[in-house]
Amino acid sequence: MCASVKYSSRGPALIPRMKTKHRIYYITLFSVVLLGLIATGMFQFWPHSIESTADWSVDRRSVHDAPLVRLPVASSIPERGDLSCRMHTCFDVYRCGYNPKNRIKVYIYPFQRYVDDVGAPISSTGLSREYNDLLSAISDSDFYTDDVSRACLLIPSIDVLNQNSLRIRETAQALAMLPRWDRGMNHLLFNMLPGGPPDYNTALDVPRDRALLAGGGFSTWTYRQGYDVSIPVYSPLSAEVDLPERQPGSRRYFILSAQTAVHREYRAELERLKEENGEAVLLLDKCSNLSQGAVSARKRCCRGQVFDYPQILQESSFCVVLRGARLGQAALSDVLQAACVPVILADSYILPFSEVLDWKRASVVIPEEKLPEMYTILKSIPHRQVEEMQRQAHWFWEAYFSSMKAIGLTTLQIINDRIYPYAAHTYEQWNNPPIVKWSSVNSPLFLPLIPPRSPGFTAVVLTYDRVESLFRVITEISKVPSLAKLLVVWNNQNKSPPEESLWPKIAVPLKVVRTKENKLSNRFFPYDEIETEAVLAIDDDIIMLTSDELQFGYEYFNYLYTYKMPGDIKNWVDAHMNCEDIAMNFLVANITGKAPIKVTPRKKFKCPECTAIDGLSLDQTHMVERSECINKFASVFGTMPLKVVEHRADPVLYKDDFPEKLKSFPNIGSL
């Protein structure tokens, strides 16, 4: 059966009438709901803080239109900077919180004009161009937030770069009036020219409570290590002068001094160096026959001859940077820009960004009392090392000195690394140029651009004529699974190595290298035969190590020993035939800042076939010299880089009472 349905000429009568009747109602209801959702979303994400709506930007409004703030005479003054402050005592890391990008958020206070009770400004210059550039760079970076409630670090828009332009008391009162000052907690101040006559303090004299200070002239007395940040003194010439690129290499002059107003005692010493070394040394001073102004600031003179500055710096291998009234000097930036290796004579000066930058790779630091010996010290540096230092110096300027933006963002990155240490930049990221040019020797300071030619490690065995002991060492080392090649350095020029048929038969290539001179440094030369990243350097009398102990740990620093060893340490080692192992430990500890890893205990350490005749270490004077060489090396490095370590790396199950077949290294400690 089929039910019939009546249709009118317009189709079914009931359904169309319902749609027509309620259509307007449904559309209106849907529109109201949609508008409500949009309004809720806008309110949810719209900034709620009154302070956050006042976004920092000098470009959006004139400085003269900024609000005027009058400081009452009785306004509170912050306490003087607390020298005991450290990140764990004066900085609230909980404000930084966790974020997936591991990046701190930085808030910049809105710009305001501060005046005292009679209307006089607290600064004679207001907002300098340099500080404006600094704040603009930060506001354009990923660190910036306009929401003060999300900020980890707060930066006042009060310009304290140059203390000479400030009224100390009034500036301190202005800082204390900041709405979130809280005794300076989590606040950062930038200052490049601290102190004033006659004392020229090495840190900003403005009382600042617990605020962090990014300062341009710190000494070891005023620098709070791990809290403050030592920054460079910006040189305006960086923006005004575009120096042509100069390839590393020999220059017209060996040493050049171009600073003006050098102390008369230093000037006298430099004049003596000039007399002793002639045309290799060029001493410049300001030009007395030019009128004062921008033109004279970019000129230097010597006996009536006029030179363009800083262009003349490119004509010298080394450029002197002496302390002036202040420790921090803009001349350091000019020298780096010119790819001239700075010779820094400023005792107690904390070098810019020294927390992360390895200045030994780009400069030479000499105590002020050794100024008369400067020429001799610099002449002892190998030519290849000078070229690398020139290249590194220019890259330091380009990456960290060239602009206020570079200085500001580097400062924030250092603080960021402290707060998120697990995501911090590595030594290589801070110190290695992004493009590494290949040379005849591959430096391990730079991560390789391609995988190593061979996996595993190369064993380099230094020997003279102890053949029986040498063969025992080769036999034991050849059992190590990770061994890729064995290189024997034959250090005896009066005796030929054994015939090929007499050598132990091993599964890896064995190569004998005959040296031209009997020097202990031959042990650490980066031979072309070395194709692995890791190298085990060992003597021919180390016969008490098992293959498991050798497999458990090894390291590579031959390049550093050959080309980076400071002063005359390498020559001293070769002359005394002693302390090459101590020299290597000094070098590695100085480069890495880390202690060696002690791998399991070793009680038996002796060479049965060694006698007082052929064993250097059995000579009675040997241990006396080793004490002397520690003092010698420490004086050359200018510090004691060796680290105290209380850690020992042992393999799993090393001393546990387990079957040997369950242990990865069963033969450790077996001899």
pLDDT digits (tens, 9 = 90+) for 373-390: 999 999 999 998 999 999
- Nearest CA among 316, 364, 324, 315 for reference residue 344: 364
CATH 3.40.50.2000 in the chain, residues? 238-288+296-402
Q: Which SS3 state, helix, strand or coil, does residue 480 take?
A: coil
CA distance 394 to 528: 29
CATH 3.90.550 in the chain, residues? 457-637
Q: In the CATH scheme, what is the code of domain 238-288+296-402? A: 3.40.50.2000
Helices 404-419 and 129-139: angle between axes, nearest 10 degrees:
50
Helices (H), 216-288: 237-240, 264-277
**Cut 0.85: pTM above it:** no
Per-residue pLDDT tens over the stretch 407-459: 999 999 999 999 999 889 999 899 998 854 333 334 444 444 444 556 778 88
pLDDT at position 412: 97
> What tokens appear for 125 in the block?
């210059």
**Segment holding 402, helix H or strand E:** none
Q: Which residues pair with 262 in a beta bridge?
A: none
Tokens 């930049």 correspond to what residue?
425
Give me the chain's average pLDDT, please.
81
Instruction: Average the pLDDT over 366-376 and give the result.
Output: 95
| 554 or 464, which is more confident | 464
- Nearest CA among 226, 199, 190 for reference residue 83: 226
The answer to whether residues 574 and 520 touch, using CB atoms and an 8 Å cutoff, is: yes
CATH topology of domain 457-637: Spore Coat Polysaccharide Biosynthesis Protein SpsA; Chain A (3.90.550)
Rounded alpha-carbon distances, angstroms, from residue 409 to 51, 88, 106, 152, 399? 23, 23, 11, 15, 10
Q: Is the dihedral of CA 16, 18, 20, 24 positive or negative?
A: negative
**Is residue 588 left, alpha or beta, with left meaning phi > 0 and alpha meaning psi from -120 to 50?**
alpha
CA distance 417 to 439: 32
Per-residue pLDDT tens over the stretch 627-646: 788 888 888 887 787 777 66
pLDDT at position 544: 55
Q: Which SS3 state, helix, strand or coil, does residue 114 take?
A: strand
CA distance 363 to 341: 5
pLDDT at position 125: 85
